[in-house]
Amino acid sequence: MLRALHARLRQKHRTIRYPTPAPALPARVRGRPRLDLDNCKTDCHACAAACPTAAINGSGRSLTLDLGRCLFCNACVEACPSAALQLTTDHVLAGRQRDHLLQGATPTPATGPLAKPLLSLFGRSLKLRQVSAGGCNGCEADVSVLNTVVFDLARFGVQFVASPRHADGLLVTGAIPKNMVLALEKTYAAVPTPKVVIATGACAISGGPYAGHDEVIGDLSRILPVDLFIPGCPPHPLTTLDGILRLLDRVHP
């Protein structure tokens, strides 16, 4: 016990002071892409050809990047001959609607909060049931990290629960193989109404690297109504935390 107390005193405060001040992430973190479309050559499709998930379309001023498909693998950055694409450390990526994840010449809209009736219910206390629907455990691991002392998700009134009957909504990860559809639908039905659904990771949003496979649904919104899309492969814990807090109107631009 004395050793534990000594270690705690030595470590001091371990929980990050999120959301104020904004976290300083390491340079190796791959966050929101920055598109310098003035440098993009109209006849060059090198980035699109290099993308493993067809997340990039067009060229020049019409270039668009779908964050819902993006694996943040950096292949497009390495392929671009004019440095028109760069990955920043910006962790704010989530969107309320699927088209909010399309990044191009116009700025991506900021994630908006739930409607006022739902905010009055969930704004200070949100219980989520996490469902791994064919995930590789990448998204699941980084979601689990939010329960550690560093992020301390519970201080915001958000907790993961063991039963959908005790939940206010679902947080779904994975590419959703067809064998998981019935289980996912039953889990959703067990959550009391009203409820929210969060699609986390490229696989749940678009299928990620498994998009187009005959046994994979690869798009949660085909099965359930999605209230929040959190892109990434996997999303950084702060990306998930930021998206949830913006959904609850706890973080503002």
Backbone angles phi, psi at 164, to 5 degrees: -65, -25
Domain assignment present for 202: yes
Domain assignment present for 59: yes
Cβ atoms of 83 and 36 closer than 8 Å: yes
Q: Is the pLDDT of residue 11 over 80?
A: no
Looking at the structure, do residues 158 and 220 belong to the same domain, yes or no?
yes
Residue 163 in tokens? 């039963």
User: How high is the mean pLDDT of the chain?
Assistant: 91
Strands 169-173 and 85-87 come out as unpaired
Give the per-residue pLDDT at 44. Answer: 86
Looking at the structure, do residues 124 and 243 belong to the same domain, yes or no?
yes
Q: Enter the pTM of the model.
A: 0.92
Domain assignment present for 126: yes
d(CA 150, CA 152): 6
Interval 204-216 mean pLDDT: 93
Looking at the structure, do residues 127 and 73 belong to the same domain, yes or no?
no
Give the per-residue pLDDT at 70. Answer: 96
Number of domains present in the structure of the chain: 2
Looking at the structure, do residues 126 and 241 belong to the same domain, yes or no?
yes
Distances (CA, A) of 105 to 3, 34, 80, 84: 56, 10, 17, 12
Cβ atoms of 81 and 229 closer than 8 Å: no
Long-range pairs of 49-56 with CB within 8 A, sequence gap ≥ 24: 49/79, 50/75, 50/76, 50/78, 50/79, 51/75, 51/76, 52/209, 53/202, 53/206, 53/208, 53/209, 53/211, 54/211
Domain assignment present for 11: no
Domain assignment present for 20: no
Domain assignment present for 129: yes
- pLDDT bracket for residue 9 (50, 70, 90): confident
Looking at the structure, do residues 174 and 235 belong to the same domain, yes or no?
yes
Give the per-residue pLDDT at 170. Answer: 98
Query: 14-37 pLDDT, tens per residue?
Result: 888 888 888 889 999 999 999 888
Looking at the structure, do residues 195 and 133 belong to the same domain, yes or no?
yes
CATH number, domain containing residue 82:
3.30.70.3270
Q: Is the pLDDT of residue 10 over 90?
A: no
Domain assignment present for 4: no
Looking at the structure, do residues 121 and 84 belong to the same domain, yes or no?
no
Q: Domain span at residue 48?
A: 33-90
CATH number, domain containing residue 175:
3.40.50.12280
**Mind giving me the DSSP string for 36-48?**
-TTS--TT--HHH
Give the per-residue pLDDT at 87. Answer: 93
Give the per-residue pLDDT at 1. Answer: 81
Interval 134-151 mean pLDDT: 94
Q: Is the pLDDT of residue 12 over 80?
A: no
Q: Which residues of 126-154 are buried (b: 16+ CB within 10 A; e: fewer)?
A: bbbbbbbbbbbebbbebbebbeeeebebe
Q: Considering the chain, what percentage of its residues have pLDDT values greater than 90?
A: 72
Query: 76-131 pLDDT, tens per residue?
Result: 999 998 888 999 999 999 999 999 999 887 767 677 899 999 999 998 999 999 99
Looking at the structure, do residues 38 and 150 belong to the same domain, yes or no?
no
